[in-house]
Structure 1
Amino acid sequence: MTKEYLDLKMDFMFKQLFGHPSRKNITIAFLNDLLNRKGQDRIVDVQYENTELIKSDPDGKTGLLDILVYTSNHERINVEIQVENQHNMRERVLYYWTKLFSSTLEAGQNYTELVPTIMISILNYLLFPHQTKRFHNRFHVYEDLEFFMWSPHLEFHTFDLTKFKSKWKKYRRGMKAKPPAAYPWLMMLSAADYRKKTIDTDILQELEELAMNEQEVLDAIKEWESLSANRENKVMLV
């Protein structure tokens, strides 16, 4: 019987796999690999925070984040996945960052107690179609002429799944070394397409091979299979 895999780009699937306390080991591995954290910089624990931002939108609506955690490194990380281009992502990230960053400061606290806030945007469209060919971009605020950083407390990451999949298909056969740590997770997110009702079997095959040496990736695939077999999740796609 052929295994079924639902599209992890769907909010409800993404949150269940990568943002649920029962799967904390997957969340931690996912974040460490996306951010290329190694050694003492690795995240070893996370606390899941409320993803509801009260009146975060200009019209007074409640904003809902996909994943928000406070890490063992004393930082907040927000992960958002977006399938459709709403043509406001850059402004949205800035706006949500200001809300998250400022909300860590309570009355009477010093500004030095504000914690670094990292925004990760995983996109299924071209946010920077002409500026770069890279699928992963990292942003800070730098001085215009001498390029020194204003503060490490602001950090944005974008992952373009369309560019990633194109690069993977073009170069994967020539890759002799172990691929970068983020690859298996991006492959997982790229494999299924609920709109086209397709699954990329080449990606799945290579993903299963990589998982043989990556326990957290293997755990994630098993959980993905379980979530995909769940009747309630299937109904959500109808």
Structure 2
Amino acid sequence: MGNKDITDFNEAQLRKRAASKEELNICLTNNYAFQKIFKNEEIVKGFLIALLHLKETDIEELEVTDPFVEGEVKEEKEGILDVKLILNGGKKINIEMQNTYQEDWAERSLFYNCRMFTEGLKKGESYYELPPCIHVGILDFNYLKSPGFYHRILLKDDTTGELYSSKFQFHVIELSKIATTKGKARKQDLYKWAKLISASTWEEIREESEGNHYMEKVRDEMIKMSQDESERYLYLREQMAIRDKASQLRSAENIGIRKGELLKLVTLVQRKIEKGDTVDKIADDLLEDQEIIEKIYNLIRKYPDKDEKEICNFLI
């Protein structure tokens, strides 16, 4: 029951498919589905119980808040979190689903946690009153080198392991490492949540949610989404965006490879020009097409103050 290739659909086709009776698989790695479902307080309560090893009675109050993060001044970066929560009237938690590789994920998580940590502190208040802040990253790609699908990151003394502060935490769930998870970790409730979030078929969703009323609630909400025309459309539109972004990343990688090769060639031509070599000689020595060498040669001569990267940018 896999989805058709969404990239083949234009807007009209997207709406037609949303209005059809075709069975639609819902995946929580889709940002729209994740945000919509995990803003349900009952559902996110079950997830936090598994993540933070809480008892149901430990959660006295849970508030889903405005996910908008505002910069202190106009020039500062703003952002929108997937899900932002306040637990028991104080502890701040944000949960983000990321389905495409982010090279700067660590910096992104630091930015959001730092912003949450400092927001709301009023003049004259003690720093001690700053609430604990937890950033939860659910990644559909490998980011950390260490094995295991789940990582809890704290501020500790590098030598003794003494905890510096428990008020700043990062929890990272790497969905791509679920398959290689072994032993006791597979029996954890969080492992079942990770498998549910990464599930790609209704069969997997039913299997993972069975027997846990919080996860069964997730399943029920996913089924509702799959049967509602407007929800189907928004889900499919986001799915199209995911595919488009993945395609752009692949293109960028290809350009990066070509750029790397071109950068090397420009550097070699610069060195040859410094020796006084002609276009013909450079092309012969480097076994390259004379037309390409001539373009590089002319740009280097025209812009003697430009470095190899700047010359390379003229050619791409």
Task: Report TM bin, short chain.
Answer: 0.7 to 0.9
Structure 2 unaligned segments of length 5 or more: list them: 1-20, 238-316
Map of 1:66-81 to 2, 5 A cutoff?
66-72=82-88, 74-81=90-97
Change (3 A) 1:141 1:105: same
Change (3 A) 1:205 1:53: closer
What is the CA distance between 1:71 and its match in structure 2? 0.6
Aligned residue for 2:187, secondary structure, equals coil
* TM-fit CA distance, 1:59: 6.3
Structure 1: which amino acid aligns with 2:47?
F
1:28 deviation in Å? 0.7
Tell me the residue number matched to 1:28.
Answer: 45
What residue number does 1:100 align with? 116
1:133 corresponds in structure 2 to 147
Distance in 1, Cα, partners of 2:74 & 2:27: 31
Greater Cα offset, 222-231 or 89-98:
222-231
Distance in 2 of aligned mates of 1:157 and 1:124? 14
2: CA distance, partners of 1:157 / 1:57: 29
Task: Rate the CA distance shift 1:118–1:204 in 2: closer, same or farther, 3 A.
Answer: same
In structure 2, the partner of 1:216 is 214
The residue that corresponds to 1:204 in the other structure is: 205
Residue equivalent to 2:173: 159
Q: Does the residue aligned with 1:12 lie in a helix, a strand or coil?
A: helix
The residue correspondences of 1:189-200 to structure 2 (distance < 5 A) are 189-192=197-200, 199=201
Go from structure 1 to structure 2 and tell me whether the alpha carbon gap of 1:91 and 1:58 turns closer, same or farther (over 3 Å shift).
farther
Aligned partner of 1:15 among 15, 19, 35? 35
Quick one: distance in 2 between partners of 1:163 and 1:64?
A: 27
Indicate whether 1:186 and 2:194 are aligned.
Answer: yes
Report the secondary structure of 2:152's partner residue: strand
Task: For residues 40-66 of structure 1, give each alpha carbon's deviation from its aligned partner in whole angstroms, at most 9, with x where no partner exists.
Answer: 6x3242112211112389964530100
Residues in 2 aligned to 1:141 and 1:58: alpha-carbon distance in whole angstroms: 31
How far apart are the structure 1 equivalents of 2:134 and 2:74? Answer: 22
Asked if the contact 1:184–1:217 (Cα under 8 Å) also holds between the matched residues in 2, the reply is no
Does residue 124 of the first structure (1) align with residue 178 of the second (2)?
no
Query: Match of 1:229, as an amino acid?
Result: Q
TM-aligned CA distance change 1:219 to 1:3, over 3 Å? farther
Of all paired residues, the percent bearing the same amino acid is 24
Q: For the residues of structure 1 that align with 2:28 and 2:85, how far apart are their CA atoms?
A: 19
CA RMSD of aligned residues (A): 2.7
Kindly indicate which of the two structures has a greater share of residues assigned to helix. 2
- Shift of residue 145 of structure 1? 1.3
Are the aligned partners of 1:75 and 1:115 in contact in 2 as well (CA < 8 Å)? yes
* Greater radius of gyration (CA): 2
Aligned residue pairs total 216
Aligned residues of 1:3 and 1:225 also touching (Cα < 8 A): no
Secondary structure at the aligned position of 2:137 is classed as: strand
Q: TM-score, normalised by structure 2?
A: 0.62
Give unmatched runs, 5+ long, in structure 1. Answer: 193-198
Aligned equivalent of 2:164: 150
Q: Which 10-residue stretch deviates more, 27-36 or 227-236?
A: 227-236
